[in-house]
Amino acid sequence: MDCSPPSSPVPWISQVRILEWLNLALVCRTFWPNSSLLNPHSSSPSLSPFSLSPPPCLAPAPEERKEFEGEEEYLEILGITREQSGKYECKAANEVSSADVKQVKVTVNYPPTITESKSNEATTGRKASLKCEASAVPAPDFEWYRDDTRINSANGLEIKSTEGQSSLTVTNVTEEHYGNYTCVAANNLGMTNASLVLFKRVSPTIPHPLQGPGSVRGINGSISLAVPLWLLAASLLCLLSKC
């Protein structure tokens, strides 16, 4: 890649794609032909280091940005990561011309990684969805499976996939829909999967309240009166003593 002051434009590569963990080298060159004819006292063009936006954490701090005189600036990134994707900028300037700035967009490609998968509870006869999200460059394609059989949008099942996420919706849940499902995300660099479960929602059982004080519920559900033993003993004693 080359960059030059406006007086001498040269071809410039505006975009670079690279696999994650490989080494990347960016070179910024200036061409200033016959600069002494324009101004005998002009200096050689100076280059400022490459900067990155975003992420800002990789851009040189103000005290670290040093200009120097020369015709080439070299930036090497060892084991580039996905977080280092972004626009890199090189600026060339000297005393006789305004600065010329060139940018190159660096895209880091990597295989899919499942970032989120959501199981769900469902009630028979109702609608329910399972969701799966993945990060990848290029963007991943999604597939859904159950018992090693690929699922398609048919027979009450609907699959919707956008860049980075996919959902499987059951429009009318029946007993046969409960169980394990698999979400697969893939691109040309690899594939990954996640297991999700559609659980059956069980309604809580509400016990019947007792029908007044001193009553108990029998095994068969009938209500009977609970009489304390001491009350029976007192009544018997009263009868014997003819109270």
Give the start-to-end residue ranges of the domains of the chain. Answer: 15-109, 119-200
Residues 128 and 149: their CA atoms lie apart, in Å, by 20
Q: What percent of the chain has pLDDT over 70?
A: 62
- In this predicted structure, the answer to whether residue 145 has a pLDDT above a threshold of 90 is yes
Residues 155 and 76: their CA atoms lie apart, in Å, by 54
- What CATH number should be reported for the domain whose range is 15-109? 2.60.40.10
CATH of 119-200, one of 1.10.3080.10, 1.20.1250.20, 2.60.120.680, 2.60.40.10: 2.60.40.10
- In this predicted structure, the answer to whether residue 219 has a pLDDT above a threshold of 60 is no
- In this predicted structure, the answer to whether residue 170 has a pLDDT above a threshold of 90 is yes
Name the pTM for this structure: 0.66
Residues 223 and 44: their CA atoms lie apart, in Å, by 104
- In this predicted structure, the answer to whether residue 65 has a pLDDT above a threshold of 60 is no
> How long is the chain?
243
Identical fold at 15-109 and 119-200? yes
pLDDT digits (tens, 9 = 90+) for 3-32: 444 444 445 678 999 999 999 998 887 765
- In this predicted structure, the answer to whether residue 136 has a pLDDT above a threshold of 70 is yes
